[in-house]
Amino acid sequence: MQIDGVDQRIIASLVADARASYAEIGARVSLSAPAVKRRVDRLRAAGVIRGFTTVIDPAAVGWSTEAFVELFCTGRTTPAQITVATRRHPEVVAAYTVSGEADALVHLRAADIAHLEQALERLRAEPFVTSTRSMIVLSRLVDSPTVVPAPT
């Protein structure tokens, strides 16, 4: 799909504030509110905009312990296997296949260390996991929403 500079500026506005009104966004990009709505509808239909969500303070809802776990898997493990296995665990925030020593990197979030340990044990019990290496998050230094490069 074709995205022009105006679309990128609309996206940047929505990333900064998903509840901004169409008129408000229109004022920023020099467009009328209906024109903005049509572009947003088009971007949603095309899958560029996947949805609108809310940024929560993880500590406030109780799950404040995070870790990144490198997974080392058996030779014949497929990404699909890792996907279905990790999706089963509610503590998995994100998972990626990666280059380097490890086969996958899993981002975990749990209530506390005990909960994290329990989630990790469940992960390690997956049949294709040969070993893991964990990095427990001590503090979050930077956390930006999706980067939207400036229109050129």
Judge residue 1's burial from the number of C-beta atoms within 10 Å of its C-beta, 0-12 exposed, 13-18 middle, 19 or more buried. exposed
The closest alpha carbon to 17, from 122, 148, 138, 139, belongs to 148
Residues 38-97 that bind DNA (CB under 7 A): 38-39, 42
Judged by phi (left if over 0) then psi (alpha if -120 to 50, else beta), residue 47 lies in left
Smallest gap from residue 34 Cβ to its own copies (A): 17
* Nearer to DNA (CB atom), residue 48 or residue 105: 48
CA–CA dist 95, 72 (Å, integer): 13
Dig out the tokens for 37 from the structure.
Answer: 């709505």
Among 15, 18, 37, 124, binds DNA (CB under 7 A): 37
Residues 34-73 that bind its own copies (CB under 8 A): 46-58, 60-63, 66, 68, 70
Binding site for its own copies (CB under 8 A): 1, 3, 8, 11, 14-19, 46-58, 60-63, 66, 68, 70, 79, 82-83, 86-87, 90-100, 102, 104-105, 109, 111, 133-149
